Amino acid sequence: MKITRLSTTLVDANWRNFTFVQIYTDVGLVGLGEATIRCREQAVVGAIEDMSRVLIGQDPFEIQAHWQMLYQDFHKRGGVILMAALSGIEIALWDILGQALGVPIYQLLGGKVRQQVQVYNNGWFEGSRTLDALSQAAQQAVQAGFTALKWNPFHGANGWLSPTQRKQVLEEVDVVRQAVGDQVELMLEAHGLFTPAEAVRIANELAVYRPFWLEEPVPPEDETAMAFVRQRSPIPIAAGERLYGKYEFSRLIEARAVDILQPDITYAGGLFETRLIAAMGEARYLSFAPHNSGSPVSTAAALHLAACTPNFLILELPTNDVPWRLELVEPAIEIPQQGFLEILEQPGLGVKLNQKIVDAHPYQNPDRVYLSDRVTPEMESLKQRLKKLSSADEERDGLGN
């Protein structure tokens, strides 16, 4: 079997474009992978096209050989662009191998260690601008079958919280906790908005609400700063969505900087690299909770890793980003039952793109969304900058197309 060509597809999905890669073979098998990142999807597509030149004519089963060659032979290693491209390609290769052998990917990585995968909801809060609306949205998410919810309550934070902001944060978390009760887990997303000292202070103030974790309380570049927070926080610390590959994660792990590792399979290096990262964490008694903000294709890849990884904890499940999300792949896989998703048993990745949905949502410039009200707190500065563009600038920069 030989690789004959690679193709990429961009699908408009609100604040980002889902980025898919498909690898074709001379026997008719087609592998599907995902390489979605926010706002730099065209660069990822270019990287995939560059990498494809050395894959054409190769054996798709030699996954690790291709990974090592693509990672090492491109002199400038790592970074989100190259790692996303490499991850999407690697996932698609595993899909081909599983299809060819007639087994799901998790079987090729050691087999199941669990029968179901617990998930948490990220996106349940979309459009909620008041405490009452947030309370209702949280209750609706629980009624929909979720037993764990994540969101970012730190609106306007920029290193430090003002007294007013601090009061608002505590009120918001209190409202959500009261809305869902004590049996639902709450994850607090900080997106690296705090200094180490402020992260420690707000963690101590929030501890009374029993958050399951505090995610990325400080920026990801300095693992010693993250370790400073972890050593002083009464709330477990999770991080890793902005790290790429086992080498970056090794520094985080050895610094004892987190309790929960959060690599994203679609840009941390793909399935096998992420499995290695999880194993490194297992040796230090750390849990593995994959970051997953992409499409159901990303969810499918994560389900296979969750199925076969002993220290897996819980999986992120995005909701409310686009109304057609459940229709994007066949079969639909993101329907939780009592907080759990079923493990996929079909050969390979186990899902295919619904071409009708793909064709209905072609690429759009994702900067548009930052001019709307649907913007995360850490993107406020970009939103304000984009608002200053004149109509002429919009057309020149691609914002008016």
Please tell me whether residues 335 and 370 are part of one structural domain.
no
Please tell me the total count of domains within the chain.
2
The verdict on residue 237 lying in a domain is yes
The verdict on residue 6 lying in a domain is no
**361 labelled catalytic:** no
Please tell me whether residues 187 and 315 are part of one structural domain.
yes
Asked whether the whole model's pTM tops 0.85, one would answer: yes
Please tell me whether residues 345 and 392 are part of one structural domain.
no
Q: 72-78 long-range contacts, Cβ below 8 Å, gap at least 24?
A: 74/50, 78/244, 78/245, 78/247, 78/248
What DSSP element (H or E) covers 229?
A: helix 223-232
Cβ(275)–Cβ(300) below 8 Å:
no
Per DSSP, the three-state class of 373 is coil
State residue 238 phi and psi, 5-degree precision. Answer: -120, 145
pLDDT at 234 exceeding the cut of 90? yes
Burial-class residue 205 by CB neighbours within 10 Å (0-12, 13-18, 19+).
middle
Please tell me whether residues 166 and 200 are part of one structural domain.
yes
Q: Which of 75, 191, 304, 361 is catalytic?
A: 191
pLDDT at 169 exceeding the cut of 70? yes
Please tell me whether residues 296 and 267 are part of one structural domain.
yes
**191 labelled catalytic:** yes
CA 368 centroid distance within chain: 21
Per-residue confidence (pLDDT) for residue 380, from 0 to 100:
59
With a CB cutoff of 8 Å and minimum separation 6, the contacts of 127 are 133, 137, 320, 374
Whose structure tokens read 């909701």? Answer: 319
Cβ(377)–Cβ(169) below 8 Å:
no
pLDDT at 390 exceeding the cut of 50? no
- Structural domain including 144 reads 106-350
189-204 burial, b at 16+ Cβ within 10 Å, e below that, comes to bbbbbbbbebbbbbbe
Please tell me whether residues 304 and 334 are part of one structural domain.
yes
pLDDT-derived band of residue 369, with 50, 70 and 90 as boundaries?
low
pLDDT at 391 exceeding the cut of 50? no
Please tell me whether residues 256 and 390 are part of one structural domain.
no
- Per residue in 91-127, pLDDT (tens digit) is 999 999 999 999 999 999 999 999 999 999 999 998 8
Q: Is the dihedral of CA 354, 327, 39, 371 positive or negative?
A: positive
Q: Which of 66, 75, 155, 291 is catalytic?
A: 291
